[in-house]
Structure 1
């Protein structure tokens, strides 16, 4: 059973603007699925619809078999969402913020401590967890949100431009964490403008343009004999 199934998703903001137009795709266990398109192509609208943060007009979204509209709590228990510009609580320390998220998902103390220690050491944030989030750089905040997202080991990790603000070393470690996460049978669905990252990290890719799915499949199927950049420019390179 797919971890994420999007069926004929349609979202219209006005009579003259359809942000997502009959979009269908599936994300299977183990997939690192890249969702690629220009600004305004419909990526963020799709991601926000998937996680239940945005209503949509037609279609269906299933997360681990649960309908996001009919069973939102069951769906949200199984996912984590990293928006492109997350709003954090600046008056909390990093440790307090992670514990706040872990409390929401009722993660046992011993389990969360083990996960947070492993993740924060991997991302080089261990020594900063006791500091206020207001003192964090953008990259540090990005690392914190990744740790908080993974603390409850979600079946589906949804991310909007997750590599923006990360230095090369942090990018490498995040990619390794995503591989390890999906190796356990989980899945990642994320948007990105960094085509090189998508090409090397993702086993599946979808190209979206003006709300319509243009290409979708394994990275090898989408890319063919070309680079992903060449395919992207050919399929949706109109700006």
Structure 2
């Protein structure tokens, strides 16, 4: 379980996160949705023990993320918005490195690497330098490395970026399996149709604040809209702007 209490993060005079509060239960997929610059990625980095909050509390499986960030990193798998990898290594070298750092027994590591590599279809790239790979393949390497140690919690920031439809479907099924095992997922995406089908609850973050939270159906009812996309645009004050841009294009093109 994850508990976030009155979370604040400042970068100098800029307040990126302003008193955010939410929980994620065991066996739940929670979608954190927001436009670029809303504080979404900052919040997820704090959950993963990468950043320290300015104030507020984050508890991950009962562990205070500020007091013991290393322990939080041990039990979580984190995929950032842009893959952060050792580009001078090959994927198999990187997986072995991650396995060593994580203390994964050799046989278990080999079995998990083989299963995940096969699932995401990157067998032919295992001997290539990571720096030479496409963005989508790097994203698959990042996802696999985050899952190798069978974490209690997955924190995925725009993890669908660059994935082909088959790989995106496989990731979706893996997340559902993860949920069935009683584990937690915090998941951000710009693919709102995916969030609508996979998330148990959704929090909409805008200008550093959670402005709405609930099941997809609850948010639709709250905003009087029929799709999560329309809910999102309405709550983030983008609906009229989008309509105006589309109308201007129709008149120009």
TM-score (norm 2): 0.89
Asked if the contact 2:48–2:76 (Cα under 8 Å) also holds between the matched residues in 1, the reply is yes
In the alignment, the residues of structure 2 paired with residue 151 and residue 142 of structure 1 have an alpha-carbon distance, to the nearest angstrom, of 14
State the match for 1:180 in structure 2. 177
Tell me the secondary structure at the aligned position of residue 95 of structure 2: helix
In the alignment, the residues of structure 1 paired with residue 115 and residue 216 of structure 2 have an alpha-carbon distance, to the nearest angstrom, of 30
User: What is the Cα deviation at residue 237 of structure 1?
Assistant: 2.6
User: What is the Cα deviation at residue 228 of structure 1?
Assistant: 0.2
Asked if the contact 2:50–2:69 (Cα under 8 Å) also holds between the matched residues in 1, the reply is no
Q: Choose between structure 1 and 2: higher helix proportion.
A: 2
1:134 aligns with 2:95: no
TM-score (norm 1): 0.94
In the alignment, the residues of structure 2 paired with residue 22 and residue 214 of structure 1 have an alpha-carbon distance, to the nearest angstrom, of 11
State the match for 1:210 in structure 2. 207
**Any residues of structure 2 matched to 1:67-216 within 5 Å, and which?**
67-216=64-213
Q: Point out where structure 2 has 5 or more consecutive residues left out of the alignment.
A: 242-253
User: What is the Cα deviation at residue 43 of structure 1?
Assistant: 0.3
In the alignment, the residues of structure 2 paired with residue 36 and residue 206 of structure 1 have an alpha-carbon distance, to the nearest angstrom, of 6
Please identify runs of 4+ aligned residues in structure 1 that moved more than 6 A.
none
In the alignment, the residues of structure 1 paired with residue 22 and residue 144 of structure 2 have an alpha-carbon distance, to the nearest angstrom, of 27
In the alignment, the residues of structure 2 paired with residue 31 and residue 145 of structure 1 have an alpha-carbon distance, to the nearest angstrom, of 22
User: What is the Cα deviation at residue 177 of structure 1?
Assistant: 1.1
In the alignment, the residues of structure 1 paired with residue 182 and residue 124 of structure 2 have an alpha-carbon distance, to the nearest angstrom, of 31
**Any residues of structure 2 matched to 1:33-72 within 5 Å, and which?**
33-72=30-69
Match of 2:7 among 4, 9, 30: 9
User: What is the Cα deviation at residue 135 of structure 1?
Assistant: 2.5
User: What is the Cα deviation at residue 71 of structure 1?
Assistant: 1.6
User: What is the Cα deviation at residue 161 of structure 1?
Assistant: 0.8
Asked if the contact 2:6–2:57 (Cα under 8 Å) also holds between the matched residues in 1, the reply is yes
Tell me the secondary structure at the aligned position of residue 107 of structure 2: helix
Asked if the contact 2:158–2:190 (Cα under 8 Å) also holds between the matched residues in 1, the reply is yes
Asked if the contact 2:139–2:163 (Cα under 8 Å) also holds between the matched residues in 1, the reply is yes
In the alignment, the residues of structure 2 paired with residue 168 and residue 237 of structure 1 have an alpha-carbon distance, to the nearest angstrom, of 30
In the alignment, the residues of structure 2 paired with residue 144 and residue 98 of structure 1 have an alpha-carbon distance, to the nearest angstrom, of 8
Asked if the contact 2:8–2:18 (Cα under 8 Å) also holds between the matched residues in 1, the reply is yes
How large is the Cα RMSD of the aligned pairs?
1.4
User: What is the Cα deviation at residue 67 of structure 1?
Assistant: 0.0
User: What is the Cα deviation at residue 220 of structure 1?
Assistant: 2.3
1:235 aligns with 2:232: no
User: What is the Cα deviation at residue 95 of structure 1?
Assistant: 0.6
